[in-house]
Amino acid sequence: MAGLILVFMGVTRLGNALKFLPRPIVLGLANGIAVLIVAKQIGDLLGLRLTNTPVRFLPLMSSVIGDMGALDLRTTAFAALSLAVIIGSRRFV
């Protein structure tokens, strides 16, 4: 759905309307969305099997912290290794 909206805005040149919005508002919205996406992925990163994950940020973080006892060490180690490779490869590319 978001992709279709972006294509529509690009075809109709509605993307130019963003220049009338203050930069802090656009950046704040983008950063807020990024934080929510990362928050939703933390459970998967740590190998937690979260069920009925809340939509709101604070209840979600509470749910993740509450389920830390079910941490899967292999998944967490693989995720840490993957992040290290990604961050380390940026240095050489």
d(CA 60, CA 64): 6
Tokens of 62: 């509470």
| Low-confidence residues in the chain, pLDDT < 70 | 2
**Contact in structure between 14 and 6 (CB atoms under 8 Å):** no
Over pLDDT 70: what percentage of the chain?
98
pLDDT (0 to 100) of residue 77:
92
**Contact in structure between 71 and 45 (CB atoms under 8 Å):** no
